[in-house]
Amino acid sequence: MPRRRLESTKTIISGTKYLTEHTFSFEKCVTALKAAFETLTECEEGMTANAQVYTLHKNIECRNSQVMAVVAAVRVSTTLQSSFTDSANAISETVSLVFPDTQGKFKKQHVASVEKEGKGRGGGRGGGR
């Protein structure tokens, strides 16, 4: 069982890619990677903090130049290279500025109109049974 779990975790790490907020949010990407890194640690195959940060940067395939500029800046920052959380937070700030409208876009339901005349569920039409 641990071997299968380890292989599954490695597949998650290699397959979790961030493209844009519309396809897969950055927050979900970071959460999935963090959980996978924790699983590797439980299986005694943990990655160093630098390797985790490198994996995060490698899995960001965004075409937005602002996001990629921050990823490059984080990549050369010696203070952010040693902390997965700090690195992810630095990139997340830019992602939320570049893609502000997608944060809650698909979570809300929009109702065009509500017409209520007190007729109940059937609309008042028909006699029922």
Q: Which tens digits make up the pLDDT trace of 62-97?
A: 999 999 999 999 999 988 888 999 999 999 999 999
What value, to the nearest 5°, has the Cα angle with vertex 35 and ends 31 and 39?
170
pLDDT-wise least confident of 55-64, 88-97, 106-115: 106-115
Assess if residue 36 is contained within a domain: yes
Q: Pick the closest to residue 20 from 55, 70, 60 (CA basis).
A: 60
Assess if residue 120 is contained within a domain: no
Q: Is the pLDDT of residue 54 over 90?
A: yes
Domain range holding 65? 2-102
Residues ≥6 apart with Cβ < 8 Å to 36: 9, 12, 13, 16
Assess if residue 114 is contained within a domain: no
Tally of domains within the chain: 1
Mean pLDDT of 23-51: 91
